[in-house]
Structure 1
Amino acid sequence: MNPVYESYQRLQFDEPLPGVLRITMANPGRLNSADAVMHGELVRVWRDIDADPDVSVAIIRGSKGAFSSGGDLDLVKEMTEDFTVLSRVWKEARDLVYNVINCSKPIVSAMEGPAVGAGLVAGLLADISIAAKDARIIDGHTRLGVAAGDHAAIVWPLLCGMAKAKYYLMLCESVSGEEAERIGLVSLCTDASELEEKSLEIATRLANGSPSALRWTKYALNNWLRMAGPTFDTSLALEFMGFTGPDAKEGLASLKAKRKPDFDQNCPL
């Protein structure tokens, strides 16, 4: 395996099949919430994969039955208090979307349990998105008191239509994997017990396909997302502007108050 992956702390890597690199998000005790370290690693990993000649396909998943539970609340608190941190995370959020879109290698996501925040960005922007039937896909921005930015404004309307996108993004409704497949938000769903096998099956088929044909098909289709660049930039600016206002602080306090007492204090659910 390429030694470049040895520097990662929150992302773990293995090669279950030749040409297939599997990425596992791991933040123990916090349902794989994206702290400052993981957020930065989710940005740069796609550039490393794009440059790795030994990788044909990437799979992204979460550890211990959870995909990703959103932004770590310590990081969210810093964003409401420190403009330098806010600016850094804003740039990372923008780069995360474009790095996934521009990665020339096919990406498969395997989502189970909660799928929220930065992890969900990669999960839904993946070329083939697979969700367990009982997965819980949530865009939690408005619950936190900020606009639904990141990937949501460009990809949700394209995948499931404007009416469904507004319903789920404005109300922060949870979408099961089964419902996500029905409305077109994900490529397919499967039983949780079959999720790993299905993701490997799809990755194998992609790895055995024509690299150039897959690369340029992905590039052409993702032009739909690139054309939404002005919408994305505006939504991202509106989202991060919200972190400087009172609604975000109230939303953060509300999330902390509603959190289950047996959860880690920095877990956002």
Structure 2
Amino acid sequence: MTDWHRHYTKLKLEMLDGGILQITFDRPEAMNSIDRETHTEITRIWRDIDDAPEVEAVVVTGAGRAFSAGGDFGWVENLMNDHAERVSSWRETRDLVYNIINCRKPVISAINGPAAGAGLVVGLLADISVVSKTAKLVDGHTRLGVAAGDAAAIIWPLLCGMAKAKYYLMTCRPITGEEAERIGLVSLAVEPDQVLPTALEIAAELANGATDAIAWTKYTMNNWLRSAGPTFDTSTALEMLGFAGPEVREGVASHREKRPPNFRGTRVQKGKDEPRA
């Protein structure tokens, strides 16, 4: 690889034969949870990949037994307490989604284990998603006490329909890889030991294919996602607004204390003349 890869210290990058770049979330001791620095790297890398002539296709996976457990609580607490951090994270969250959408190179996710948060964003926004049948996928935003932001509003309804999207996003119930394939949320569900080999096989096929034809097909198809841009922008703004509210504090506390949240205790009593959400 050229020198651009030296800027990335939180992600494990491997240039494989045939122009395939493998990106690995590499914090297995923390189930590959994403801290602030990792989030910045996974946001910016797509522009470098787009400009890297040696990269023909990308495979994203996780080290150990997880794909990515989402954002770590230290970062979440910074979002709760620092307005400037919320603004900066909102911009970065927005850029992560659009950078993946606009990257010309085909992206294949190899979801080898549990996936949530920003990791799930990458997993589902990949052009082709390969998931373990036994992996658990979950969008945990409302369980944390914030609106389902990230990429949920832009991609879930398109993949699995509004009824299923609302059900899983509002309840935060986990979904297995096998069920995710059945409802159309992912491309393929395979046995756990076949996730990475299958993803690499697909990447090799695309890397050896008609580069322009594949890139232009991706660009055209992703206009469905671009057309949902205003909906996505609203969801991320409301997610960041939630980090300043009382519900997320209870959500984080309940996670740390390993108990169900008591969101009823966080509700502000409204007068009859006050507007309701």
Report the counterpart of residue 267 of structure 1 in structure 2: none
Length, aligned pairs only: 259
Separation of aligned partners in 1, 2:130 and 2:17: 18
1:8-45 residue CA offsets vs partner (Å, 9 max, x unmatched): 12101112322100000112421110101101001001
SS in 2 for 1:79: helix
Structure-to-structure mapping, 1:68-83, within 5 angstroms:
68-83=68-83
SS in 1 for 2:148: coil
Separation of aligned partners in 2, 1:98 and 1:227: 12
Report the counterpart of residue 251 of structure 2 in structure 1: 251
Separation of aligned partners in 2, 1:231 and 1:196: 33
How much does 1:6 deviate?
1.8
Asked if structure 2 preserves the Cα contact closer than 8 Å seen for 1:112 and 1:136, the reply is: no
TM-score, length of structure 2 as denominator length: 0.92
How much does 1:113 deviate?
1.6
How much does 1:2 deviate?
2.1
Q: Could you say what the CA RMSD is over the residues aligned between the two structures, in angstroms? A: 0.9
1:131-188 residue CA offsets vs partner (Å, 9 max, x unmatched): 0011111001001000001100111000000000001000001011100000000000
Instruction: Give ranges in structure 2 of 5+ residues lacking alignment.
Output: 260-277
Separation of aligned partners in 2, 1:106 and 1:253: 39
Asked if structure 2 preserves the Cα contact closer than 8 Å seen for 1:151 and 1:232, the reply is: yes
Separation of aligned partners in 2, 1:57 and 1:11: 17
Separation of aligned partners in 2, 1:185 and 1:46: 22
SS in 2 for 1:61: strand
Asked if structure 1 preserves the Cα contact closer than 8 Å seen for 2:70 and 2:116, the reply is: yes
Instruction: Give ranges in structure 1 of 5+ residues lacking alignment.
Output: 260-269
Task: Specify the structure having the higher radius of gyration (Cα).
Answer: 2
Separation of aligned partners in 2, 1:120 and 1:199: 16
Report the counterpart of residue 210 of structure 1 in structure 2: 210
The answer to whether structure 1 residue 89 and structure 2 residue 110 are counterparts is: no
Q: Which amino acid aligns with 1:245?
A: G
Q: Which amino acid aligns with 2:49?
A: I
Asked if structure 2 preserves the Cα contact closer than 8 Å seen for 1:9 and 1:37, the reply is: no
Q: Which amino acid aligns with 2:163?
A: A
Give the share of equivalent positions with the same residue, in percent. 56
TM-score, length of structure 1 as denominator length: 0.95
Report the counterpart of residue 150 of structure 1 in structure 2: 150
Report the counterpart of residue 168 of structure 1 in structure 2: 168
SS in 2 for 1:230: helix
